[in-house]
Amino acid sequence: MSESRLSRIAFPSLDPRSDVLRGERERARAVGYAEGLQAGAAEVAAREARLEAEAAQALAAAMAELHQAAQALRTAAQRVSLVAQPVLADAERALVEGGLELAEAIVGIELDDAPNGARAALARVLAHESAAEIVRVRLHPDDLGMLDPALRAESGVPLVADPSVRPGDAIGECEDGVVEATIAGAMTRARAALQGAWR
């Protein structure tokens, strides 16, 4: 029989307090922690990417709705403007016409005060920019009769009675034309200027 040699076999200690087992546990814990940390970081990154994509989609949808709402508002404003413009223009015309009629009525009442009407007519014609060229002023005979002799002399031009001139009006004659200071003429010019502004 051959002699066998017996040798000693060393088995790792299974004692939970052994250094080898403790080292393996620490290594496993570190590997598990690192793997868990990587998995958690990957999950967080995926979640962040998903949330950013959802936020971008929501923002794009909100911007599209805002753009549609702004366009609808612009369209509505244009339609209101198209409807309102003629109404406002008509209202403006009515106000101006009413104002002119009121002015004519007030002037008519003032002209009933003959002495003031005669003085005002003479003052209007002599206040014209071409007053220096006026050689004679024609007035209605009643107006001429109401003027104070001192005022006639101050005018510096001959004053002539003309029954074709309406009471409250005056016409200055120049060598090459006339200076019209009539109420009707002034109202006609005012009306024409305002109507020209409407077009």
Give mean pLDDT, residues 67-89.
82
pLDDT, position 2 = 57
Q: pLDDT tens digits, residue range 145-164? A: 988 888 888 888 999 999 99
Is it the case that residue 197 has pLDDT exceeding 70? no
Structure tokens at 143: 């107006």
Mean pLDDT, range 85-102, rounded to an integer: 72
Amino acid at 86: P
Provide CATH code, domain 113-198. 3.30.2320.30
Greatest extent of the chain over all pairs of C-alpha atoms, in Å: 178
Question: For the segment 5-36, what is each residue's pLDDT rounded down to a tens digit?
Answer: 777 776 665 665 667 667 777 887 887 787 88
CB-CB neighbours of 199 under 10 Å = 4
Distance CA 145, CA 114 (A): 10
Please indicate, yes or no, whether the overall pTM of this predicted structure exceeds 0.75.
no
77 has pLDDT over 90: no
pLDDT at site 16: 57
